Amino acid sequence: MQADGAKDGGLRFARMPPTHWPLSRLLLNRILDDRISDRFVAERVWERLGYQPDGEGLIWLAGAETPSAWREAFPQAPEVISIRPASVQLTRSIPREHKQLLKEQLKFAGYRIGELYPRRTRRATAVNWLLAWLASHEQVLEEEGPLPLLLDPPLNPVSGHPGDLPVR
């Protein structure tokens, strides 16, 4: 724990490390299966990039732990699925030695030709980035863990689930 400089009656409080939604093979496969909203996927990336939600959780802002390249390019957490520059930066931030984790750990062979849509390929990028984050932090990918409410795969994979932002 680190001291965050906050004082109350002369006492310093230690800043608790952030709590992340646990990643699991089951969760990451449900993301690839398009059973989870784009926003939920983005939030899993944001929390690991050090972005922090405002009081209502609608807006996430760069925090002290956010890497400077992200903080400068995106002071407000970017929608990593719907906004191309954010997806490109996410791709570029995956270390070379972790580029194949999607195939190696999840045995993901990619989408078939008829399933290739920017939303889906960006979701795969986000999953690979999350796997790279785990590897970089020497964390094990658990087989199972908590899941959000699962959605049916969208009828139109281009536009996604209700509430998903349009891909730009």
Residue 67 lies in a domain: no
Tokens of 86: 């954010």
Helix (H) or strand (E) holding 8: strand 2-8
Domains identified in the chain, total number? 1
Q: Say what the pLDDT of residue 53 is.
A: 93
Domain presence at residue 93:
yes
Residue 45, Cβ neighbours under 10 Å: how many? 21
Find where tokens 């925090």 sit: 63
Give the model confidence (pLDDT) of 71-95 as tens digits. 999 999 999 999 999 999 999 999 9
Of 15 and 33, more confident: 33
In a domain, residue 89? The reply is yes
Average pLDDT of the chain, as a whole number? 88
Query: Would 3 be classed as within a structural domain?
Result: no
Domain presence at residue 98: yes
Rounded Cα gap, residues 151 and 148, in angstroms:
9
For residue 42, being part of any structural domain is answered with: yes
Residue 115 lies in a domain: yes
pLDDT class for 144, splitting at 50, 70, 90? very high
- Structural domain includes residue 130: yes
The CB density around residue 102, as the number of other CB atoms within 10 Å, is 23
Q: How far apart are CA 65 and CA 49, in angstroms?
A: 7
Tokens of 146: 């908590």
**What b/e readout covers 47-61, taking b as 16+ CB neighbours within 10 angstroms?**
bbbbbbeeeeeeebb
Range of 122's domain? Answer: 20-48+79-136
- Classified as helix, coil or strand, 123 is helix
For residue 14, give the DSSP letter. Answer: E
Beta strands in 44-93 (DSSP E): 51-53, 60-62
- Give the CATH number for residue 99: 1.10.418.90
